[in-house]
């Protein structure tokens, strides 16, 4: 019957969520335990759902185990800032803590050379700024984010943060330069464009998945278009990525 099918669909979706959460948690907790030591003074905190598990593990280490006496956390977004405050961790900022020991963040897709697509949650600009201040950048993700080449997993495209006045010209310039389609990210129920923590708009550029792109070159070219504030392409930034796998194991890529 209809209700049995929908119950079955609901249960299978719930199982997927539980499995994904277990994978995210494993990646997050392993990264924290391997990279954050009692000598870590300043830690950059990324954004997204996997980062929630990072902050929970940090709070356990600080409050239950007492193993991180000096830790200062620098957020990459409003969400990260709230997480730090909610877990009663020490909040830092780039004015005082511009040298970061380790930055931990999630990603939307990671290719075999550790090129990342980020910004699914719209925080790419501050994420890239905070990551650029870190000695070591560690990525934590579930198995759905792992690709040989970009475009295998992430069909929503590469997020680009743009000044509101420039979203139409930037869209056309990206499409002329590199093909595909760049779409303005719209809020749910078409309530208007999504606005970032920095008051800007986002384009999601669906590139041509089958085309060979030099991501370093693409990133530099798009960054040069007037009105572009940051791209969600992170090239040569990540040092290591922990993937939680569906079968409960961990894959490490560096």
Pseudo-torsion of CA 56, 31, 89, 109, nearest 10°? -80
- With binding defined as CB under 6 A, does residue 244 bind ligand 5RP? no
- With binding defined as CB under 6 A, does residue 123 bind ligand 5RP? yes
Give the C-alpha separation, 26 to 95, whole Å.
Answer: 32
Nearer to ligand 5RP, 41 or 235 (CB): 235
Site track for ligand 5RP across 204-233, x = CB under 6 A: ------------------------------
Smallest gap, in angstroms, from Cβ of residue 59 to ligand 5RP? 18
- Relative to beta strand 100-105, strand 90-91 is unpaired
DSSP conformation class of 87: T
Nearer to ligand 5RP, 48 or 157 (CB): 48
- With binding defined as CB under 6 A, does residue 124 bind ligand 5RP? yes
Residues of this chain, 72-111, that bind ligand 5RP according to CB under 6 A: 105-108
Give the C-alpha separation, 103 to 123, whole Å.
Answer: 14
Give the C-alpha separation, 29 to 50, whole Å.
Answer: 10
Angle, CA 217 vertex, CA 213 and CA 219 arms, to 5°: 95
Smallest gap, in angstroms, from Cβ of residue 66 to ligand 5RP? 28
Q: Which one of the listed residues 29, 109, 127, 161 is annotated catalytic?
A: 127
**Cα(first)–Cα(last) distance of the chain, in Å?**
49
Residues of this chain, 10-69, that bind ligand 5RP according to CB under 6 A: 46-50
Smallest gap, in angstroms, from Cβ of residue 226 to ligand 5RP? 23
Q: Are 127 and 230 in contact (CB under 8 A)?
A: no
Q: Are 180 and 188 in contact (CB under 8 A)?
A: no
SS3 218: helix
254 CB neighbour count, 10 Å cutoff? 9
Nearer to ligand 5RP, 30 or 49 (CB): 49
Supply φ then ψ for residue 102, to 5 degrees. -140, 140
Q: Of the ranges 83-91, 121-129, 150-158, 191-199, which one interacts with ligand 5RP (CB under 6 A)?
A: 121-129
> Is there a catalytic annotation at residue 127?
yes
Smallest gap, in angstroms, from Cβ of residue 186 to ligand 5RP? 17
Give catalytic residues, as residue numbers.
127
Residues making contact with ligand 5RP (CB under 6 A) = 46-50, 105-108, 118-124, 127
């Amino acid at each position: 019957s209809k209700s049995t099918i929908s119950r079955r669909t609901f249960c299978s979706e719930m199982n997927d969520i539980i499995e994904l959460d277990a994978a995210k948690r494993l990646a997050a907790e392993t990264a924290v335990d391997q990279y954050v030591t009692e000598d870590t003074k300043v830690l950059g905190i990324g954004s997204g759902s996997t980062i929630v598990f990072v902050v929970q593990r940090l709070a356990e280490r600080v409050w239950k185990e007492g193993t991180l006496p000096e830790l200062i956390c620098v957020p990459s977004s409003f969400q990260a800032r709230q997480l730090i405050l909610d877990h009663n961790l020490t909040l830092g900022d780039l004015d005082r803590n511009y040298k970061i020991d380790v930055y931990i963040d999630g990603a939307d897709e990671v290719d075999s050379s550790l090129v990342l697509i980020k910004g699914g949650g719209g925080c790419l600009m501050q994420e890239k700024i905070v990551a650029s201040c870190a000695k070591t950048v560690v990525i934590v993700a579930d198995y759905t984010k792992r690709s040989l080449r970009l475009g295998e997993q992430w069909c929503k495209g590469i997020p680009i943060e743009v000044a509101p006045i420039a979203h139409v010209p930037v869209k056309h310039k990206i499409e002329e330069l590199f093909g595909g389609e760049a779409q303005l990210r719209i809020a749910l129920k078409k309530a208007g464009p999504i606005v970032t923590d920095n008051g800007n708009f986002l384009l999601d550029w669906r590139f041509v998945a089958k085309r060979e792109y030099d991501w370093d070159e693409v990133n530099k070219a798009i960054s040069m278009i007037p009105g572009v504030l940051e791209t969600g392409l992170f090239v040569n930034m990540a040092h290591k990525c922990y993937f939680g796998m569906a079968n409960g194991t961990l894959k490490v890529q560096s």
